[in-house]
Structure formats: structure tokens, C-alpha cells
Amino acid sequence: MVRQTTVAEGANGKRTAPRSRPARTGNDQVHSLVRALALLNRISEATDGATLTELAQQVGLPPSTAHRLLTTLEQERYVRFDHDGRLWSVGVQAFVIGCTFTRTRSLVGISRPLMRRLMEESEETVNLAIEDQGEMVYLAQVECRQMMRAFARPGTRVPLHCSGVGKAVLSVSSSRTLARFLQHRGMARLTAKTITSPAQLRADLEHARTVGYAVDDEEHAVGLRCIAAPIFDETGDVVAAVSLSGPMARINDERLSQLGALVLQTARTISTEMGAPPNLD
């Protein structure tokens, strides 16, 4: 069998072997994908859109390469180009993908592995709660292995003003939300340490906002302490709180800041998984 080879005619009339385009490797495709995603991320951060020059500089690409990638993204409707303003912005397909994420994500499903890790690191019981009608409702709990441990059955409700999870949510809520809560719910005293002064509660919430976590210091139940931090969604709104709780004998003053840092880190990781903006405080 004779194999035929196709040749091309050069500018000088001589026949030459055709030039073959080098095969594109998997690494090249991965690099292109990473660069395209970097461009999409930069566009998402530009409220009013961004020019080709700005995007190329931000991701460290030649303008020609950036333009090629942006054109591909535009064809798939992940970005769009405004010819009048010469600006690139997020396209409708990116919005569609984002909406799919918000429909299919599960707060409990995302949180539970991180709650278990927090339980292992702290050796205390970990809780997840959301606000509902002026109270906190526990959604899930990962119990520790200690003989003495806190227990809150999913569905249990606790007040906002004297629970760690409640104060964590209030600490990042607006002044109007806090005022509305105080007006409709009040501040019932449950223990000798329960805060019943609005001014004292505001000061406590301000401290929680500063350090990133709130503390229930025997305010809801005698002998128990709870440390909680807020969880945010993709809009930056607070949607839940994660906490660890245990007896005063173990959650003492010496461990308070260490455990608070663990809870805060867990809350931030859950927030990131929920789509919250990075470095959201």
C-alpha cells in the first residue's frame, strides 16, 4: 500500500512539506482554562465593567491572549462586551450557573464536615442554628465524646439576646434590626448572668463584632458557655451561626480566645463554601 503525502508549493515555486501545527497538550488547555477563569473573576469584581487593558494587566497576560480568551467566554455568554464603552462585564450564563448553585447548595450539608472537624479540634459539642421569627433554631449538632456535654435537639429554639448563636447573628445585624428585636421580643432573664439592659447588650455585641465571635457566658443556662460566629451567604447577608458549647470547667477563660479563633475560622470556611465574598468580616 502506497501512502500519499501532500506537499505545498512555496513562494519560490518549489514544493515544500506542509507545516504541522503542534498538538495542544492537556497542560496548555488547563492553563488556558485557569487564565480564562482568572479573567472572569476580575470582571466579577469590576462593578462598572473593565477594559481589555485593565484585565490583561490584572491577570498578567498579553492583551492579545486576554482578548482571545475573553472572546471565547463571550461566545459562551459568560462575559459580554459593550462596544460603546469598550468594557467587559459578566454575562448571562455566569448568572445562570450562580443561580444553580444557590438552588442546590445545602447549609447543613456544607457545614456538617466542618462542624465535625471543629468538634475534633475543640473536643466540644458543635451546633448550627438559623434565625426564625426572632429566635434561633438549631438545625444540626455534632456531639463531643466528653461525659459532660451540652445537648440541643434539632428544632430547639433559644432567644437571641442570651445565646451565643443569637448574639453572633445580632452582632452583624443592623441597628434597625436590633431595635425591632428589642421592641418585639424584649430581654427575658433566664439566669443571674443574662443581659437585660439594651445598652449592655449593644456593648457586648460591639465587642463580638470586633473579635469576630460572641460568647454566652452562663446567660442561657447555668454552668454552660457557648462561643459562636456568624455565617454569611453570597450576598454578604448573615444566614446562620455556628457555635461550640460546653461546661465552664472546660471552656474557661484561658481557652476562650483559642476556641473563639477556631469557631471564627470554621464560620469563615462555611461562609466561603456558601459563596460569601472573600475576607468578609
pLDDT value at position 2?
38
Q: What is the Cβ-side half-sphere exposure of residue 200, based on CA atoms within 13 angstroms?
A: 8
Which residues of the chain fall below pLDDT 70? Answer: 1-26, 99-105, 148-149, 151, 279-281
SS3 sequence of the chain: CCCCCCCEECCCCCEECCCCCCCCCHHHHHHHHHHHHHHHHHHHHCCCCECHHHHHHHHCCCHHHHHHHHHHHHHCCCEEEECCCCEEEECHHHHHHHHHHHHHCCHHHHHHHHHHHHHHHHCCEEEEEEEECCEEEEEEEECCCCCCCCCCCCCCEEECCCCHHHHHHHHCCCHHHHHHHHHHHCCCCCCCCCCCCHHHHHHHHHHHHHHCCEEEECCCCCCEEEEEEEEECCCCCEEEEEEEEEECCCCCHHHHHHHHHHHHHHHHHHHHHCCCCCCCC
- Report the candidate in 170, 216, 171, 212 with the shortest Cα–Cα distance to residue 193: 216
Q: What's the rounded Cα separation, in Å, for the pair 260 and 109?
A: 23
pLDDT value at position 265?
95
pLDDT value at position 113?
95
Q: Does domain 105-273 have CATH number 3.30.450.40?
A: yes
pLDDT value at position 56?
94
pLDDT value at position 107?
87
Q: What's the rounded Cα separation, in Å, for the pair 214 and 205?
A: 7
Cα separations (Å) of 114 from 16, 98, 141, 177, 208? 64, 23, 12, 29, 22
pLDDT value at position 229?
97
Look-up: residue for cell 467566554? 73
pLDDT value at position 241?
96
- pTM here is 0.66
Report the CATH architecture of 27-98: Orthogonal Bundle (1.10)
pLDDT value at position 7?
39
Look-up: residue for cell 458549647? 245
Contact 208, 236 (CB under 8 A): no
Q: Would you kindly state where each structural domain of the chain is located, as residue ranges?
A: 27-98, 105-273
Alpha carbon 59 to its chain's center? 23
- Report the candidate in 102, 264, 246, 109 with the shortest Cα–Cα distance to residue 172: 264
